[in-house]
Every structure is written in C-alpha cells, then in structure tokens.
Amino acid sequence: MDGKYLLKRGRTWYVRFAIPHTVQDIFGKQEFVQSLKTKDFQEAKLLKHKYLDMYAQMISLAKRQLGSNRTKEGQLIDCGLMLRQINEQQGTIMIIKEHRYP
C-alpha cells in the first residue's frame, strides 16, 4: 500500500506535496493539493506520479531562480511566467485525460 502523498477527502483522492520553506513565498502556500478526480485508490496511486513530477520540476526551477543574482522582483516575474507555462501544460494534460481514447 503506497498511499504516500495521497489524501482522501470524502470519497475523492487528492495528491498532496509539501513545498520547501525556502520557496514557499514564491508559490504563496505551504503545500500543493490537487484533486485526482477518482474514488479508486489504485488509480490514485498511478495518477499521483504525474503531479509529483510536475511539483518537483516547479520547485527545482523556483530554487534556481532564488539562486540567481537577479532582484527579488525579477525572480518573482520569472517564477510567475514559469507557473503560467506549467499551468498551460497541465490544462493540456487534463483535456487529454478527459478524452479517453479506445
């Protein structure tokens, strides 16, 4: 049973990932929580990896931005652009998921 990073609210499974303290200001929160839109634990275990990979990538990019010699404002602008790009990619993933192919 690999329920790590999973959270159940009601009957729906969510993926939950803590954001390191050093980059919480960039994201404006302490953790990522996303509905997996499933009631099935086995499916949730498979779906969570897509989000965990995305979160790890986002955190890595944010840490790199903080390590640069740019101003805080410049770093936040870059992180905002990065988050927009990732959200657009996530939207594409959700559209593909909704249109399951035979």
pLDDT, tens only, 21-70: 988 888 889 999 999 999 999 999 999 999 999 899 888 888 877 776 66
Asked whether residue 30 is domain-assigned, the answer is yes
Position 100 pLDDT exceeds 60 = no
Domain count, the chain: 1
Q: Is residue 87 part of a domain?
A: yes
* Domain annotation covers residue 49: yes
Which structural domain range is residue 64 located in? 6-98
| pLDDT reported for residue 45 | 95
Nearest residue to 44 via CA among 90, 91, 6: 6
pLDDT at 98 over 50: no
Assigned domain for 1 exists:
no
Residue 55, CA distances (Å) to 1, 27, 34, 99 in order: 22, 11, 11, 24
pLDDT in tens, 70-82: 677 776 677 777 7
